[in-house]
Structures are given as structure tokens and as C-alpha cells.
A and B are shown apart, each in its own frame.
Chain A
């Protein structure tokens, strides 16, 4: 139902950085109804589009920008339906506000979940401007049409700019969504085009503002020493030396925390100073002894062995077809393999940072966050104030990869601002980021496949074990959740007569979180590697092996087979598991790379394909193995992400995903001894550097399917394509990542 409200917009719009707007369009999600900002009840409005009398179109981006280009992508959809001139579009970053719907920018779903809403928003505003023009000229609506930031009367050629019409349009009732007309694909001028990102100039001139860049009058800089082992609070503290460091102003103990810690701050001691360096220097002088923690014994190497053993034993069956064990018993040939991957950390280039000001029971926060509403909720809870007393501004993010969905560092800033009575910026160092993260789970998988007398792989047992993200929030989960099993494991898309998907126990000892593509990382590696092992064993070309396993074109539905498949939160009718699309990307990558073309000795292609976040990606990787040294020579990515808004940004995400995948496969390892993370910076948690980066190409499949995920789906097939290439080049099968444990990279 559309609503007309009577209003002064000034205060509300000022808060959004918009002044003097006439036409303002908002939406209440989900199933939004447009409303006009005509009332002084600004709080009832959830603003998405505003048009100034001078014709400036302000479009709110309610999702966080972390390099995926969303501050360009969503507005470009609105602008297209609105028939606006992109040069007159201003992008405004939305504050935390639940009326925007989810602002949690993870799960590769910004375009997937908001493409249609943005089109409706643009089409509504356009319709209202057209109606205003028709009324002004006393002509039928059917005779006017918007184009190039103006509304035109077709028969007479009369025209009026958006800015001239905005005030009149603002007085009209909002149109019924079901009556809106949308542009056809052929008429798109921005959707599907490579628009440069709106923040380009600011970025390349150093003007872009990230969370780490916040500065305020009277602001203190905080550096926090946190407990090295989760679950340990402070036993004793001597801060006398720290307080003597020039520039140090205050030392504040963070609140105690017990497991589960969730999004809360960790126990620790904050040193507040007049600049970052002084805070860091003061922190080094703290003398803290920590209490014992039940997790102080955790040793990742020993735990890895435990998991490797567990997956070799039958586990809890969560999806089953036929009788896999009978199938294996009757098989003419079987093959088994066990894979593992260590803990990983996000390492966004910008470590977490947040600034807070506390005044009169209200707190205002600036954070490089993927999830401003989560900050609002957690801070309100921790400080014991109402949610509407917490204002959260979203800065640009210097990378996120899932780390910045967590509210912990922003909670720290809020606590310290309240305790100190001054604005406080909490600056995480690189060491903090690596040692106090939310880790990608350490994991193990096991596979056994059986070939029947027709030579077909028809029976398959697979098991996975890894500590669950759930543990971070409840402290009790000791095996993966259905949601995590849905990430590239329980949704195995192979045509098998007999299948048993199983899970094994794995306890939590660190904060476990989601890292770009989450459990798909280890599942994609293990499954993609095992398919290649089967191909080698059965002496079939990898492409053929994949085709045989994927089977006929069909929609795979794990549900009748006993598994509650979450499908990335989307309906399976709209976003089915489509084996035809998997095979299409596989073939495209294989053809573009020329994986079957004979290579020089010591050089070879490897390939893998994976569906995640309802998109389909195949990666082909070529390596050269010389003695103990491997070099990645070239990569091709084929991706089907459905409808694409900004192809260049999709390609950039795929390039980034290939590099992210190479980093983790070649060198990624977080190890833990006596409960504490061993790594601390880029010298011992290395990331891919330019001289290790091969030339790469991305090939997008043109599709009219609804938009799929883009940020994450490129990652899962990378590690397997690389390990498979190494095997083909050298005969060496690497089942336990990272690769630098086996070869020089």
C-alpha cells in the first residue's frame, strides 16, 4: 500500500546529506511500498531516492562497499529504470536502519536480493515524474516518456527536466508497484554496462575515507591488548609503565567475557593516546597475566590429526541415496582419499577500525562494517541503551571478506567512548587482525567412490568435519550445521545410484567465522580434487570425468534425500542446482584454456567447477613444476552469475577470487599452539604477491537468469584446479593444504 504523508523533509534529509530535495522516494522492505517524504515523521521513511530541484538525483546505497563495487552497481540499476543521467547521480551511503531490510553485506547477495527492488524504486520515481509532466501539460500519461533526465511530450516535443518536475511529482500519490512498467533489456543504458566505480577519483587521489581514516576533534586513539587464548580473562594488570609513555592518556580494562563471545568485545586492556603510535608503544609496556582457559591446550596440528582420523570412520548420515556401503562392497574398483585444510584468516588490507562518540546516553559510530545493523543491536545490548540511540555510519571498507560482518571492534569503540568520555578510534594492528579474528574452520574430508561393472562411478561416500560457526555463538556446537553442510557438500550435484553424505564431530577452540565463500573453500578443494583423482585412476580426461559425474541435464534436489538444503537462503524453484549450467562453465573454461592441448614436460592444466551462492564457476589453472618448485603460469575463469549489472566489476571479483584462492591454496595457514595463534603479520601469513600472479582471463556466460552471487563463488574451484594441475604436471597429488608444505611456491 502506498502512503502519502504530509511533511517537512528538511531535518531528515539533512541527516542523509541531502538538502532542498523535492521528490523523495523510500521503501519499507520486504515487499516494499513506496512512500513520499512528505511528513515530518521522517523516522517512518526509509529513503532510497531523492531528486533535487536542480535535478541532482541522490540514490542511497544501503549495502557496504568493500571493493565489490556495490556503491556503483545498485545505483546504476535505479538510474537506468529512472532514465536518469548518470552524471547527475550522487550516491549516499545509508545509515544502519532495519527499514532498509538486510544491510548485512555478505553471502554474495546485494544484487541478488536487491536488483528487483532497485528497479522498482527507479521505475516508481520515473512514473511519478511522468505523471507530473502529464498533469502540467494536460496530456494523457501515455503521451509522455522520460529519457535523459527529462520528461518528453512525444507529439509536441515539449520537455521538462527532472528537477523542474520534482516538486510536482512529490505531491502525487505513489504508483502501485503492480502497475509499473519496466524497461526491456534492449533499452538498458546502464544495467549490463561497465560503469567506472563512483569512488574512483577519491581512491586514486587518497581522499577516500576508510574506517582507519576517521579523525575527530579531541579524539583518542586506542590500541588493545587482548587475551591470546579465547576464554581467558585478566588475572592481574600492571599498567604503570604504560601510563608513562609520552602521549598515553588513559588505560582502560575491557569488560570480562566468557564463552560464547559471539560479537562481543574480547577481554583485554586498552591504551588510549593522542596518536596511534603512542597507543601502540604504551600497549607494549602493559604487564598482564591471564587466567587459564579450557582452550589453552588447543594445538592445531594435533587437532588436524584427530579430524583426519575421525573422517575415516562412519559419521552421522545427513543425505542418502540407495545403499552406498553395499555399492562400495560390490564395486569392481574403488578409490579413496582424505583431504585437509588448516585454519585461515581474512587479512583484509585494512585492519578493522571503528570510531565512537558517546554523549547524553547516545552513541554515534563510524565503522568499516559489512553489517551496521548488527553493530546497532550489539552496542545497544552491551551499553544497555535503546537501539535508536545508536547511530552507525558506514565508511568505505578496505576489504572485508567476512571479517567486517562482525561487530566486535565497533563494540570496543563504543565501550571506550563511554568509559573515556571522549571520541575514541579503536585501531586494530595487523597482528591484532591475524591473532584475534573469526577464523575459517580447520577441516578434514574423506571420500570413497566405487565403480560398477559398467565402468561407471555409481557409489560414493563422503564425510566432512570442521568446527562450526555456531560454536562462536553458543559455545556448544560440535559439528557442522545444515547451513554449513549446504555449502558445497550436501548439495553434491553428481548422478549416483548410491550416496552417503556424512558429518563428523569437531569442537570449537577459536572464534570461527565466515571467510569469503565459507565452507565451500574446503569442500570445493576436496570434491574438485577427488574428481580429478578418479579421472586419473580410471584413465579418463578430467572434462569427461566431470561430465559423467554431473550426468544428464537436470535440477538436483537434495531434499527428498533427507537433507534440509539451505540454497543460500533462496527458493530452489528460482535458483535450482542446474547441472547444465555447471557443465556449460566447465566446457567454457576448458575450451578457452585449451586444457586438452599437449603441454611441455613439467607443465599442465588442472580444472575444477563448483556452484555456490547460486552461481556457477569453473577455473582452469596451468602450472609448471620444476624440481621442488611450482609456478602458476596462467588461469581462466568461466562464470555464470545469471543477470549481470556491471560486467567489469563481476570480472574484477572473479580475478580477485582467483588471487584469493591462490593465496590460501599456496600459502594459507593459521596454526595454533597452547590455544594461541602463531602467526602475526604478512611475513608468516603470506598473501600472493605480484610476481606470483599469473596472467588471467574471465569469461562470463550471458544469461537472463536472475542475478546470482558474485563476490564469493570464484573462490571454491581455485585450490582444486591448482592441485589438479600440479598432479598433471608432476604426478604429485597434494591432499593437505597449503601447497608450500610440499613445494616451494
Chain B
């Protein structure tokens, strides 16, 4: 049994310890908001937070989250009202949407460590997340809009 905290709830899973967290979340826990895109930490579709830091769940053995806290897109906010989710809707970011949970999770980790990232900081934090549909300009604009509000103290 591997115990960890998932979206603020204590859970335990009985699986092979080398099974990547991605498949534990998707196939065993039914949390399919975390996506599979490459399985080798190349695309960011599977991004979740581990103790608040963005990690690629496709290459993270579930044994490595023992006793730690995992947040997925389903646990990021109560009803899609995280400031980034609101900004994503306002900027009409998604096309197919498949990459977007991973994008939002990467962006959320960025803003919690750096509330006012410049272009380079955004590029650095987001370069592990591929969007094949091509929503990068809007992703950037959405992140910046949240960062701008943060400075004003509105969020």
C-alpha cells in the first residue's frame, strides 16, 4: 500500500511501486484530467503538483509520492475558479483542450513561486508543455493578465 494525499484527501493505492503516477491517476483513480501525451517527460500533458511543484506524472513512479501531497487539475479549484482558469476562459485559450490541464498546472506552479513572471520566466516555466493546436500566444497573454492583477492586489 502506498499512502499519499490526493487533492487534499488521504488515499492509499495497492499497485506496482514503479507504475507511473499518471496511470494510477487515470486508470485506477479515474482522474482523467491528467493527460497522456508522450510518457517521457517531453510534453507536459501529464503535469500535476507534488507538494506544490509542477512535475510530470508520466515518469514519476507512484512510490515517489508516498507521504506527499499531489494536486491534479480536478483539485486545483472548487469549480474552475482558479484565477488562471478564469483567465483561460477570458482569453479563449483552448482549442482542442487536450494539453490545457497540463498547461494550467504548469502556469499555476509558476505563479505560486513567481507571482509576476516576465516573458523569459514564462518561457522557462512553460517550455515543457507542448500545445500542438498552437495556443501559445494566448497562454502567454492569460498568464500575464493574472500576473498583472496579482501586482494590483486584486487576486
- A, B from the same assembly: yes
Mask, A689-700, CB within 8 Å of B = 1, is 111010110000
Cβ–Cβ contact B137 & A197, under 8 A = no
Task: Indicate whether B150 reaches chain A with its CB closer than 8 angstroms.
Answer: no
Question: Does B134 contact A688, Cβ atoms closer than 8 Å?
Answer: yes
Are A206 and B34 in touch, CB under 8 angstroms?
A: yes
Contact of B127 among A206, A683, A689 (CB under 8 A): A689
Q: Is residue A687 within 8 Å, beta carbon to beta carbon, of the partner chain?
A: yes
A689: chain B residues at CB < 8 Å are 127, 130, 136
Minimum Cβ distance to chain B for residue A71 (Å): 11
Contact mask for chain B residues 119-131; partner A; CB cutoff 8 A; 1 contact, 0 none = 0001110110111
Q: Does the CB pair B137–A67 fall under 8 Å?
A: no
Q: Which residues 165-202 of A sit at the B interface, judged by CB distance below 8 A? A: 194, 196-197, 199-202
- The verdict on A655 contacting chain B, using a C-beta distance below 8 Å, is yes
B149 within 8 A of A: no
Determine whether A656 belongs to the interface, using a CB cutoff of 8 Å to chain B.
yes
A246 close to B (CB within 8 Å): yes
Are A351's CB and B73's CB within 8 A?
A: no
A310 to chain B, nearest CB (A): 33
B39 in contact with A429 (CB, 8 Å): yes
Does A221 have its Cβ within 8 Å of any Cβ on chain B? yes
Interface residues as binary, A268-295 with B (CB distance below 8 Å gives 1, 0 otherwise): 0000000111101000000000000000
Bound complex: CA A201 to CA B82 (Å) = 12
Report how far A485 CA is from B92 CA in the complex, Å: 37
**Contacting residues, chain A, for B77 (C-beta < 8 A):** 205
Find out whether the CB atom of B43 lies under 8 angstroms from the CB atom of A349.
yes
Give Cα distance in the complex from A427 to B37, angstroms. Answer: 11
Contacts of B71-114 to chain A: CB distance below 8 A: 72-74, 77, 79-80, 85, 88-89, 92, 94-101, 104
User: Does more than half of chain B's interface fall in helix, strand or loop, or is it mixed?
Assistant: loop
> In the bound complex, do residue B135 and residue A656 qualify as a contact, i.e. CB atoms below 8 Å apart?
yes
Question: Does chain B have a CB within 8 A of A137?
Answer: no
Please tell me if the beta carbons of B42 and A652 are within 8 angstroms of each other in the complex. no
The answer to whether A67 touches B73, judged by C-beta atoms less than 8 angstroms apart, is no
Partner of A657, one of B38, B72, B134: B134
State the CA gap A653–B129 with chains docked (Å): 19
In the bound complex, residues from chain A placing their C-beta under 8 Å from that of B131 are 349, 659, 690
Question: Knowing A430-B37, A683-B42 touch, does A205 contact B79 (C-beta < 8 A)?
Answer: yes
Contact present for B135 and A399 (CB under 8 Å) = no
Residues of chain A contacted by B129 (CB below 8 angstroms): 690
Cβ of A554 under 8 Å from chain B? no
- Chain A's interface: helix, strand, loop or mixed, by majority? loop
A348: which B residues are within 8 A, CB to CB?
96, 98, 132
Q: Which of A208, A278, A691, A695 contacts B137 (CB 8 A)?
A: A695
Nearest A residue to B38, CB-CB: A430
In the complex, whether A19 has a CB less than 8 A from a CB of chain B is: no
Interface centre among A65, A396, A682 (most CB of B within 10 A): A682
Knowing A204-B88, A221-B27, A246-B16, say if A658 contacts B132 (CB, 8 Å): no
Those of B29-88 within 8 Å (CB) of chain A:
30-40, 42-43, 45, 72-74, 77, 79-80, 85, 88
A481 contacts across to B, CB distance below 8 A: none
Does A459 sit at the interface, judged by CB under 8 A? no
Q: Are B42 and A681 in contact (CB under 8 A)?
A: yes
Residues on the B chain within 8 Å of A445, using CB: none
When C-beta atoms are compared, the residue in chain A nearest to B16 turns out to be: A246
B123 and A656 form a contact (CB under 8 A): no
- Contact: A656 with B130, CB < 8 Å? no
A657 (CB) vs chain B CBs: closest residue? B134
Q: In the bound complex, do residue B96 and residue A652 qualify as a contact, i.e. CB atoms below 8 Å apart?
A: no
Structural contact, B100 and A682, CB atoms closer than 8 A: no
* Contacting pair B40 A212 (CB below 8 A): no
Contact of B26 among A276, A351, A398, A401 (CB under 8 A): A276
| A43: interface (CB < 8 Å) | no
Known: A275-B27, A656-B95. Is A212-B38 also a contact (CB below 8 A)?
no
Interface flag for A347 (CB, 8 Å): yes
B33 proximity list for chain A (CB < 8 A): 205-207
B43 to chain A: closest CB distance in Å?
Answer: 6
A274–B56 Cα gap in the complex (Å)? 23
Nearest Cβ on chain B to A424's Cβ, whole angstroms: 14
The reply to whether B73 and A206 form a contact with Cβ atoms under 8 Å apart is yes
Q: Once the chains bind, are B39 and A430 in contact (CB under 8 Å)? A: yes
The answer to whether A396 touches B95, judged by C-beta atoms less than 8 angstroms apart, is no
Q: Chain B residues near A696 (CB, 8 Å)?
A: 137
Contacts of B74 in A (CB 8 A): 205-206
* A66 at the binding interface (Cβ < 8 Å): yes
Q: Say whether, besides A67-B133, A275-B28, A398-B97, A204 and B104 are in contact (CB < 8 Å).
A: yes
Q: How far is the CB of B113 from chain A (nearest CB, A)?
A: 18
Q: Does residue B23 face the partner (Cβ distance < 8 Å to A)?
A: yes
Q: Is there an interface contact between B32 and A206, defined as CB atoms closer than 8 Å?
A: yes
Contact indicator A690/B139 (Cβ below 8 Å): yes
Cβ of B1 under 8 Å from chain A: no
Q: Within A305-348, which residues are at the interface with B (CB < 8 Å)?
A: 347-348
Of residues 383 through 401 on chain A, the ones whose CB sits less than 8 Å from some CB of chain B are 396-401
Decide: A210 and B37 in contact? CB cutoff 8 A: no
Q: Is A215 interfacial (CB-CB < 8 Å)?
A: yes
- Kindly list chain A residues whose C-beta atoms are within 8 Å of the C-beta of B130: 349, 682, 687, 689
Contact A275 B126 (CB under 8 A): no
Q: Inside 8 A of A349's CB, which chain B residues have their CB?
A: 35, 37, 43, 45, 96, 98-99, 130-133
Contact yes or no, B40 A681, CB < 8 A:
yes
* A205 and B80 within 8 A (CB): yes
**Shortest Cβ distance from residue A584 to the other chain B in the assembled complex, whole angstroms:** 25
14 pairs across A/B with beta carbons < 8 Å?
A199-B94, A201-B80, A203-B97, A203-B100, A205-B73, A205-B80, A398-B35, A398-B96, A399-B98, A648-B92, A659-B133, A681-B40, A682-B38, A688-B134
Binding site for B on A (CB under 8 A): 65-69, 194, 196-197, 199-210, 212-213, 215, 221, 246-247, 275-278, 280, 347-351, 396-401, 427, 429-430, 648, 652-653, 655-660, 681-683, 687-691, 693, 695-696
Query: Other CB < 8 Å A-B pairs besides A349-B35, A399-B98, A660-B134, 13 of them?
Result: A67-B94, A67-B133, A200-B92, A201-B89, A276-B27, A276-B36, A349-B131, A429-B39, A648-B92, A687-B130, A688-B136, A690-B127, A690-B129
The 6 closest A-B pairs by CB, nearest first: A206-B33, A398-B98, A659-B134, A67-B96, A67-B95, A203-B97
Query: Which residues from chain B sit less than 8 Å from chain A, CB to CB?
Result: 16, 19-20, 23, 26-28, 30-40, 42-43, 45, 72-74, 77, 79-80, 85, 88-89, 92, 94-101, 104, 122-124, 126-127, 129-140
